[in-house]
Structure 1
Amino acid sequence: MEKMKKELVIEDTEHRQKALQEGPLEHVFPGSTSKILDFLCVFDEWDYSITDIAKNSGISFKTAFDEIKRLRMQEVVINSRTVGKAKMYKLNLESPQGKSIHRLALDIAVKRATRQAH
């Protein structure tokens, strides 16, 4: 029963985004990488430039650039396309690493949201 309830919360986009916006990974693993991953997990349907990732994650462009490079090497983030001169990136949900991180972020978010509701 609890697992079904948990799955319903995850499937509901509004609840999922609200729970994820509180930065589940950054809450557990403080740092720039977690801020980037939280942002990319919340808005996983789109791709973003490094400038957008930096601004929405609350970190500097240089830090975002370095972290995205590192995350690409680990196949967690992919370069999805190029728009003009800007390369666009998104969470790699095709890789085991990307899937695991996305699932972990959702699990942490649901657990935190459930705890706060009680």
Structure 2
Amino acid sequence: MTTINILKDFTRTPGARFITDGQYSGEEFREKFLEGHFKDPNDNSKIIIILDGTEGYATSFLEEAFGGLARKYGTKRCLDRLEFISNEDKLIIDEIKSYIEHPDNE
């Protein structure tokens, strides 16, 4: 099991979709923090993502980070492995899961 705390491990101020859009993008987060855990097709360990403590999330950040991951590694694999924690905004978890379940609707 791996835990990724976006506030502590990445930033308090998540940015936009792409690295070219500026610092702390969804693309950067996906590449640096998520994709490495998906390279081994036999690794089925849980990845816990703690969402609390940031100044909020742009839709483009969430879609690129998690929808982008599903486009590369598949919806089922992402839903099976990722677990989200948010005590501040419970609806954000449903939003992220919708990006994973429908990765082609960016």
Is TM > 0.5 for Structure 1 vs Structure 2? no
TM (norm. structure 2) is 0.32
TM (norm. structure 1) is 0.30
When Rg is computed on C-alpha atoms for both structures, the one with the higher figure is 1
Between structures 1 and 2, the one with greater helix share: 1
